[in-house]
Every structure is written in C-alpha cells, then in structure tokens.
Amino acid sequence: MTSIDLYSISGLNYPYTVYVCDVYGNQCILVSVISSNVPPVNTILLPPLFNNAPAVGIKVITSDGCERFKIFDCVNVYKQFQDLELFDFMDGIQYDFQ
C-alpha cells in the first residue's frame, strides 16, 4: 500500500498535522498538514519506509494539542462482494461488491 484515504476526521478541530508511524506510535514521519475540514477525502502518501508494512499508524494532532492515533491494516484493505463495485462505509473501508 502506498497511500491511505482519510474520509473523515471527527471530534477534532482543524488544522490537522498528520503523521504516519509504525503500529506502536514510533518512527513517526510528518506527511501532511490539512487546513480544512475532512471530508472531502484527503489522500495521504506513505513514505517509502512504510511501503511493505502490514499495518501503519496514523497520528493526527490539532493546533490545540488534541491527538488521535489509529492503526490501518495495509494487507486486507477491502472486502469483495458479488458485483465488483466499490462501496465505502462510514468507517472509510472500501468494500468490493461482486
């Protein structure tokens, strides 16, 4: 996986400073500063260090010091269904309908 789409950030005030970290919250690298509300979707490009990682942590810090950390699984990023169309649920996970 080389990027992660942020579909929404709730409970925090922008601007957001976004870091990509390992799953333990270490080795954090600044990847984006978002100065508007999310949505709309923001695509975060992963640094090469994380290209083959099975999971990464996304840390979002606001200007008032609030911090959120969430782990994203890079291996199983969507589920397949019968009609092969992509469907995004509120959690931002893509589901592929067959």
Domain boundaries, the chain: 3-97
Residues above pLDDT 70, as percent of the chain: 74
pLDDT at residue 83 in the model: 45
What are the structure tokens assigned to 20, written together? 């990509």
Rounded distance, CA 96 to CA 25, Å? 30
Checking if the pLDDT of 30 tops 90, the result is: yes
Closest residue by Cα to residue 56 from 21, 17, 30, 16 = 21
Residue showing tokens 């100065």: 35
Whole-angstrom distance, CA of residue 6 vs CA of residue 43: 6
Model pTM score: 0.69
Cα 17–chain centre separation: 13
